[in-house]
């Protein structure tokens, strides 16, 4: 398609009809309205000013040349103001799409645009100081879908969870648990000012009292707190891993912040900064000259008291990621961390990498509701809805779909009532139902001894009606949706596509019968079909004079073959998002 246009451009240039100094690469896209054909191209308008002719004139020249050059491909090439070229292919060309889907099956839609380039995808990375909440769930669903999407597009993806198991938060956890532990044993205790208030802290403390008895009381508080912190974070981390597994999210690596310190990598990172003359001593602290790379100001990495800042550890972490040889680092962060991006891109550049090698996807907050009733959440009081609770209530399919329904950088309203509803209002069921419905048709077909044909077995000319072609064209888009979605790191595009395809399928299903009625075999009729494709010479069974299509065995076979491909694409898309494609509902 694009090649045809490029060749034509070269031809008209050589023949002198249009003197083009440089041949542009034409942009071809499906037009907004079906009446405008199968593809449209704007190259005439971009060229018009260069060749000093009106866009319409340029388009005319290209259109006639294209049509005479490629008669077997184009049925029609139209020119529309202000200078669009609209192409209509011979309908029969579209049948190739179905053959492609049938041939590739579950791999239909995958590509190699990533060319094997390696990506480290870091997401969730919740502190092991409490259970995962819904916000983490959104990040988890997004990361998981993104990983599948990128893998399907030819990238080598590795998923990683960064464990913040060093520093103040963990100490606070230890002090919280220790305080509850003393409380439980009837000793006096002072709960830390901004400690963790959730009930899970009490549970941890109690189980701690059972396993350790009163032994911790005999230790100095500092040591006891450290022991409590260690034990509690390990348990909480295990639960996080469990919750994620339950949600269908897995990581190749769990990277512990502590190992950065124990291996001396933080100090090494700062040493390297000095070597590169990107560090400075000031006010008794060590600073990273991040402003050299566009940050607002320089940042402290080693405090006056000699301890490292969080940034220092994070710099060491990102340096380590790059040292492991990844081409691109993708981080999924909560939107409240956006101010951190300049620091991190500065880090990447400080160690000699392009700033494009770090891509940060920001995820906005999730607010929960039941119908119109909002559910208040406050982390301070420890009253927030956990991911596990949501998954148990609405199921992991619905949870994932809802998390992936919106662009990452917009607020998400998650309606628990809606997610549980089994109706067309619920987009998850809507898409899954389309898949199950088709499965049911195939089941009934087999029960009645109707064979399930392949595309090669059927009379393809029976699939050239407007509704059939509409479905086929949507199926043809799928690989492009995946590609765009992967490049932009936007899985929500796949969710929207699936809803569109499902809608089209449901409409088709309601309008056209596939199997003959159970008792009296051939009496069923479709509603009038649009004229057009049926004028194609081969379509002998499609009565040109009659506006109705008889549901002959040939028609049944052709439609079955078409619908199998629809089902394949529905299944591929759902699977990619980590959502099940049920055979029955």
Q: Give, as ranges, the residues between 165 and 184 that touch RNA (CB under 7 A).
A: 166-169
Query: Taking a C-beta distance cutoff of 8 angstroms, is the pair 330, 139 a contact?
Result: no
Query: What part of residues 494-533 is at the interface with RNA (CB under 7 A)?
Result: 496, 499, 503, 506-507, 509-515, 517-518, 524
490 binds RNA, rule: CB under 7 A: yes
Task: Count CA atoms within 13 Å of residue 252 on its CB side.
Answer: 11
300 binds RNA, rule: CB under 7 A: yes
285 binds RNA, rule: CB under 7 A: yes
Nearer to RNA, 30 or 453 (CB): 30
Nearer to RNA, 374 or 538 (CB): 374
Out of 183, 340, 359, 550, the only residue in the binding site for RNA (CB under 7 A) is 340
537 binds RNA, rule: CB under 7 A: no
Out of 25, 49, 262, 381, the only residue in the binding site for RNA (CB under 7 A) is 49
430 binds RNA, rule: CB under 7 A: yes
Out of 444, 456, 540, 553, the only residue in the binding site for RNA (CB under 7 A) is 444
293 binds RNA, rule: CB under 7 A: no
Kindly list the distances between the CA atom of residue 94 and the CA atoms of 56, 70, 286, 542, 544, in Å, as whole numbers in the listed order.
Answer: 28, 16, 65, 18, 21
Query: What part of residues 543-572 is at the interface with RNA (CB under 7 A)?
Result: none
Out of 214, 292, 296, 354, the only residue in the binding site for RNA (CB under 7 A) is 296
Can you tell me the distance from the alpha carbon of 113 to that of 487, in angstroms, rounded to the nearest whole number?
Answer: 9
187 binds RNA, rule: CB under 7 A: no
Query: What part of residues 201-230 is at the interface with RNA (CB under 7 A)?
Result: none
Nearer to RNA, 184 or 430 (CB): 430
Nearer to RNA, 120 or 476 (CB): 476
Query: Taking a C-beta distance cutoff of 8 angstroms, is the pair 269, 347 a contact?
Result: no
Strands 156-163 and 118-122: parallel
Question: By CB under 7 A, how many residues form the interface with RNA?
Answer: 94
**Residue 433: CB minimum distance to RNA, A:** 3
Nearer to RNA, 499 or 536 (CB): 499
Side-by-side strand order, sheet with 28-29: 28-29, 39-41, 84-89, 74-80
Please choose, from the candidates 35, 36, 25, 31, the residue with its C-alpha nearest in 3D space to the C-alpha of residue 2: 25
Element (H, E) at 160: strand 156-163
Query: What part of residues 60-79 is at the interface with RNA (CB under 7 A)?
Result: none
Can you tell me the distance from the alpha carbon of 132 to that of 196, in angstroms, rounded to the nearest whole number?
Answer: 14
284 binds RNA, rule: CB under 7 A: yes
Written as one string, the DSSP assignment of 365-416 is -EEEEETTEE---BTTTTB--BHHHHHHHH-HHHHHHHHTSS-TTS-EEEEH
Beta-carbon count within 10 A of 91 CB: 24
**Residue 553: CB minimum distance to RNA, A:** 13
Out of 83, 114, 131, 174, the only residue in the binding site for RNA (CB under 7 A) is 83
188 binds RNA, rule: CB under 7 A: no
Choices 102-110, 221-229, 231-239, 425-433 (CB under 7 A): range interacting with RNA: 425-433
Out of 2, 10, 488, 522, the only residue in the binding site for RNA (CB under 7 A) is 488
Please choose, from the candidates 534, 512, 516, 514, the residue with its C-alpha nearest in 3D space to the C-alpha of residue 462: 534
31 binds RNA, rule: CB under 7 A: yes
Query: Taking a C-beta distance cutoff of 8 angstroms, is the pair 124, 105 a contact?
Result: no
Query: Taking a C-beta distance cutoff of 8 angstroms, is the pair 123, 332 a contact?
Result: yes
Out of 193, 277, 305, 545, the only residue in the binding site for RNA (CB under 7 A) is 305
Q: Long-range contact list for 350-358, CB < 8 A, 24+ apart?
A: 350/273, 350/276, 350/278, 350/288, 350/290, 350/293, 350/315, 351/272, 351/319, 351/322, 353/322, 355/293, 356/328, 357/322, 357/327, 357/328, 357/329, 358/318, 358/328, 358/329, 358/331
Can you tell me the distance from the alpha carbon of 8 to that of 13, in angstroms, rounded to the nearest whole number?
Answer: 8
Out of 263, 443, 538, 544, the only residue in the binding site for RNA (CB under 7 A) is 443
Query: What part of residues 263-282 is at the interface with RNA (CB under 7 A)?
Result: 282
> Rg (Cα) of the chain, in Å, rounded?
30
Nearer to RNA, 412 or 539 (CB): 412
Out of 127, 233, 461, 549, the only residue in the binding site for RNA (CB under 7 A) is 127
Nearer to RNA, 12 or 312 (CB): 312
């Amino acid at each position: 398609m694009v090649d045809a246009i490029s060749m034509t451009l070269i031809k008209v240039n050589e023949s002198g009809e249009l003197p083009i100094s440089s041949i542009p690469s034409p942009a071809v896209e499906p037009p907004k309205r079906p009446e405008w054909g199968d593809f449209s191209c704007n190259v005439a308008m971009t060229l018009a000013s260069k060749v000093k002719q009106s866009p319409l004139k340029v388009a005319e020249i290209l259109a006639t040349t294209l049509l005479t050059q490629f008669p077997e491909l184009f049925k029609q090439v139209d020119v529309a103001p202000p200078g669009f070229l609209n192409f209509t292919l011979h309908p029969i060309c579209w049948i190739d799409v179905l053959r492609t889907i049938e041939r590739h099956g579950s791999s239909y839609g995958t590509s190699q645009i990533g060319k094997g380039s390696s990506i480290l995808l870091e997401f969730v990375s919740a502190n092991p100081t409490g259970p995962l909440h819904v916000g983490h769930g959104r990040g988890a669903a997004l990361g998981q879908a993104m990983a599948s999407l990128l893998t399907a597009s030819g990238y080598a993806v590795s998923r990683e969870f960064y464990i913040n198991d060093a520093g103040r938060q963990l100490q606070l956890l230890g002090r919280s648990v220790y305080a509850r532990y003393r409380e439980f044993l009837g000793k006096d205790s002072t709960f830390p000012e901004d400690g963790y208030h959730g009930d899970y802290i009490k549970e941890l403390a109690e189980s701690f009292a059972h396993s350790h008895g009163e032994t911790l009381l005999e230790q100095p508080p500092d040591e006891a707190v450290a022991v409590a912190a260690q034990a509690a974070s390990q348990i909480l981390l295990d639960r996080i891993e469990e919750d994620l597994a339950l949600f269908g999210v897995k990581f190749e690596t769990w990277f512990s912040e502590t190992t950065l310190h124990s291996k001396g990598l933080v100090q090494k990172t700062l040493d390297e900064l000095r070597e590169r003359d990107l560090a400075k001593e000031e006010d008794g602290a060590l600073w990273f000259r991040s402003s050299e790379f566009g940050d607002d100001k320089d940042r402290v990495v080693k405090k006056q008291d000699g301890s490292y800042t969080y940034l220092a550890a994070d710099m060491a972490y990102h340096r380590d990621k790059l040292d492991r040889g990844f081409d691109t680092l993708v981080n999924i962060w909560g939107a409240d961390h956006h101010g951190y991006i300049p620091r991190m891109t500065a880090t990447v550049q400080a160690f000699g990498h392009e700033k494009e090698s770090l891509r940060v996807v920001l995820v906005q907050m999730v607010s929960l509701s039941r119908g119109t009733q909002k559910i208040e959440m406050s982390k301070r009081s420890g009253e927030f809805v956990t991911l596990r609770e949501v998954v148990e209530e609405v199921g992991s399919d619905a949870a994932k779909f809802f998390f992936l329904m919106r662009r990452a950088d917009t607020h998400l309203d998650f309606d628990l009532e809606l997610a549980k509803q089994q109706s067309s209002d619920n987009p998850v069921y809507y898409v899954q139902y389309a898949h199950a419905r088709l499965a049911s048709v195939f089941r009934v077909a087999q029960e009645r001894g109707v064979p399930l044909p392949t595309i090669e077995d059927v009379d393809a000319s029976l699939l050239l009606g407007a509704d059939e072609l509409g479905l086929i064209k949507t199926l043809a888009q799928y690989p492009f949706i995946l590609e765009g979605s992967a490049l932009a790191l936007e899985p929500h595009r796949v969710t929207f596509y699936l809803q569109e395809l499902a809608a089209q399928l449901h409409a088709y299903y309601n309008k056209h019968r596939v199997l003959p009625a159970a008792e009296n075999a051939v009496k069923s009729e479709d509603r009038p079909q649009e004229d057009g494709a049926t004028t194609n010479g081969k379509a002998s069974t499609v009565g040109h004079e009659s506006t109705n299509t008889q549901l002959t065995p040939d028609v049944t076979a052709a439609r079955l073959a078409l619908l199998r491909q629809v089902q394949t694409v529905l299944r591929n898309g759902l699977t990619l998002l980590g959502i099940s494609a049920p055979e029955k509902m």
